[in-house]
C-alpha cells in the first residue's frame, strides 16, 4: 500500500509519522512546494525508523508527482492554516487554488486513488475535489468528524472525570466552529448515556468547548493543531489500508442522506478498502435535524464562493 501526503507541514508530517509508526503501509511519499522541505521531513522521519521500530519507507519530493504514481490513498494537507482569530472559511481563496491543482496532479499520476481532504475550509475543499477530480464519490473523503469526535471525547472525559477509553461520542455536520454538531444525545460512558451523569451546565460546557476546540488550540499555538489532526487522518488511512470497515464520521457528498444533496457534510460512514463503503443513517432528534440543516445552509454559502 502506497500513500501520498501532499503538504509536508505540521499536519502532513504528523500524519506521515503516525502512519509510519503503525507500520501498515509499505511506502509514504511526502510532497511539498517548498524546495527540499518534503525531502528533509522524510529523511528526518526515516531516521526515527530504527528507533521507533517501523519498516515503512518514507520519501519526499518537491512537486515531482511522478514519484506519487500508483498511490492507493492520497491525503491533501497543502494550504495555509488558520492564524489566531481567523475562521476556517477565511482560507478559501488561497486554499481552493492549491487543492484544485494538487488534485489534478494526484489523479493524473494515480487514476485509482482515494483522496482524503484535510485543507480548510474542509467541507468546501472536499466539495471542490468532487467537482473537479472526476473520481467516483466513494473515493473522496473529508477529514473533520474523526478529529472533532476525538476532541468531543476529550471534553466528555474531562467533564465526567472518566478515562477517555470509557467514553464514546460522535460529531457530525460541518467542520466549523458554528456548524459542528456534537451528538450529546448519543454520547455514552460505558454504554450509559452521559446525560445521566452531566448536569445542564456541564453538557453546555462540553458542547461549546468541542465546537471551539480548533480555535482554542490556534490561540494557544499561534497556528492550527497537528497531533490530533495527523492521528485522525492516520486512523482513516488505516481503515482503508486494512479494509477495517470502521465507522468514522467523515465529510461526504450527500445525495438525499440526512435530507441534503449536492453538499459535503460530516456523517457517519463505514470506511474500508473502497473508501466509503456506505453512509450510516442514525436517527437524529428534531433539534439535531434543525442544526444539521442550518450547518448545511452555512456550508452552501461558503461553497458559493468557489470558482471552478
Q: Which residues are marked as active site?
A: 175
> Given the complex with ligand NAI, which of 95 and 203 has the nearer CB atom?
95
CA 40 to chain centre: 25
Residues that bind ligand NAI (CB under 6 A): 6-12, 31-34, 37, 77-82, 91, 95, 98, 101-102, 118-120, 122, 143-144, 147, 175, 223-226, 229
- Least CB distance to ligand NAI at residue 308 (A): 18
Rounded-to-integer distance, Cα 232 and Cα 230, Å: 5
- Least CB distance to ligand NAI at residue 33 (A): 4
- Least CB distance to ligand NAI at residue 198 (A): 26
Helix (H) or strand (E) holding 282: none
What the block records as the C-alpha cell of 288 is: 439535531
> Given the complex with ligand NAI, which of 194 and 233 has the nearer CB atom?
233
Helices (H) and strands (E) in the chain, counts: 10, 14
- Long-range contacts, stretch 90-99, CB < 8 angstroms, 24+ apart: 91/119, 91/120, 91/121, 92/121, 92/124, 92/302, 92/305, 92/306, 93/305, 95/119, 95/120, 95/121, 95/125, 96/124, 96/125, 96/128, 96/306, 96/307, 99/125, 99/128, 99/129
> Given the complex with ligand NAI, which of 160 and 302 has the nearer CB atom?
302
- Least CB distance to ligand NAI at residue 13 (A): 8
Residues 6+ apart with CB under 8 A from 194: 156, 160, 167, 169, 184, 187, 188, 203
- Least CB distance to ligand NAI at residue 144 (A): 5
Q: What are phi and psi of 76, to 5 degrees?
A: -105, 110
Amino acid at each position: 500500500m502506497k500513500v501520498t501526503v501532499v503538504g509536508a507541514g505540521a499536519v502532513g508530517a504528523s500524519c506521515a509519522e503516525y502512519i509510519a509508526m503503525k507500520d501498515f503501509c509499505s511506502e509514504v511519499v511526502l510532497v511539498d512546494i517548498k524546495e527540499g522541505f518534503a525531502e528533509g521531513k522524510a529523511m528526518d522521519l526515516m531516521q526515527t525508523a530504527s528507533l521507533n521500530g517501523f519498516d515503512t519507507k518514507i520519501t519526499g519530493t518537491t512537486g515531482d508527482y511522478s514519484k506519487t504514481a500508483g498511490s492507493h490513498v492520497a491525503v491533501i494537507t497543502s494550504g495555509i492554516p488558520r492564524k489566531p482569530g481567523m475562521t476556517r472559511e477565511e482560507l478559501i481563496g488561497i486554499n481552493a487554488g492549491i487543492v484544485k491543482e494538487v488534485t489534478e496532479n494526484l489523479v493524473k499520476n494515480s487514476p485509482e486513488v482515494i483522496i482524503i481532504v484535510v485543507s480548510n475550509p474542509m467541507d468546501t475543499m472536499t466539495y471542490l475535489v468532487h467537482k473537479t477530480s472526476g473520481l467516483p464519490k466513494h473515493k473522496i473523503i473529508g477529514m473533520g468528524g474523526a478529529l472533532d469526535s476525538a476532541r468531543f471525547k476529550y471534553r466528555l472525559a474531562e467533564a465526567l472525570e472518566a478515562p477517555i477509553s470509557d467514553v464514546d461520542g460522535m460529531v457530525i455536520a460541518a467542520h466549523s466552529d458554528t456548524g459542528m454538531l456534537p451528538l450529546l444525545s448519543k454520547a455514552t460512558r460505558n454504554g450509559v448515556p452521559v446525560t445521566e451523569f452531566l448536569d445542564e451546565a456541564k453538557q453546555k460546557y462540553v458542547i461549546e468547548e468541542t465546537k471551539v476546540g480548533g480555535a482554542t488550540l490556534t490561540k494557544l499555538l499561534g497556528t492550527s493543531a497537528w497531533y490530533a489532526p495527523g492521528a485522525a487522518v492516520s486512523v482513516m488511512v488505516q481503515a482503508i489500508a486494512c479494509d477495517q470497515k470502521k465507522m468514522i464520521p467523515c465529510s461526504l457528498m450527500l445525495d438525499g442522506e440526512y435530507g441534503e444533496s449536492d453538499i459535503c457534510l460530516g456523517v457517519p460512514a463505514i470506511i474500508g478498502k473502497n473508501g466509503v463503503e456506505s453512509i450510516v443513517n442514525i436517527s437524529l432528534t428534531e433539534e439535531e435535524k434543525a442544526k444539521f440543516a442550518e450547518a448545511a445552509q452555512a456550508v452552501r454559502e461558503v461553497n458559493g464562493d468557489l470558482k471552478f
